[in-house]
Amino acid sequence: MMTARVFILSAFLALSASAAHAQVTTLEQQEAIWDQLLTAVKADPSSLVADIKSFVPQYGNYCGLQATAAGAIPIDCVDGACFQHDASPGYSSSNPTLAQVVAADQQFIANLSFTQASTPYGELYRNAAIQLFEAKTTYEQANSVTLITPCADCLNTR
């Protein structure tokens, strides 16, 4: 069961905030969140759609989809790489080009490849993010399409 759970974590990236959006820093906390997710899916799959954002893996202040207070400081180099990725033209522009998105993702992969997280969970997240963004970038380049949805003022949502 642990292997399947780790595989699922890798597929989604690697951590999520709890319902109260508290910072998740341990694998045990993430497992509890995934247990809630799996229970919810079995009980009512349609209810998951509205709450999916709270189940996307989260790490530190900038890795994941949860909003971060303006001016928050990255907790380590992995979180810093996520901050830089979010601030890149590929993710902060209202209408990024495929080239901008791919360049941002390639720089993100490079940044993550040459750093370490400050926690075991952060290392799990870092490794999963590298795999996810390598696959995402390969798909986007092969199909000449970006998988991100442009937003008008992305950084102000953090």
Q: What is the four-CA torsion angle of 12, 18, 21, 26, rounded to 10 degrees?
A: -70
- Mean pLDDT over 68-94 rounds to 91
pLDDT digits (tens, 9 = 90+) for 14-62: 333 333 345 555 667 767 776 776 676 666 655 555 555 666 788 999 9
Of the CA atoms within 13 Å of residue 133, those in its CB half-sphere come to 25
Q: What is the pLDDT of residue 52?
A: 59
- Mean pLDDT over 75-79 rounds to 95
pLDDT at 9 over 90: no
* CA 57 to chain centroid: 6
State if pTM tops 0.75: no
- Mean pLDDT over 85-108 rounds to 93
Of the two residues 50 and 94, the one the predictor is more confident about is 94
Tokens read off for 41: 């899916």
Cα angle 1, 126, 16 (rounded to 5 degrees) comes to 60
pLDDT at 155 over 50: no
Q: What is the pLDDT of residue 157?
A: 43
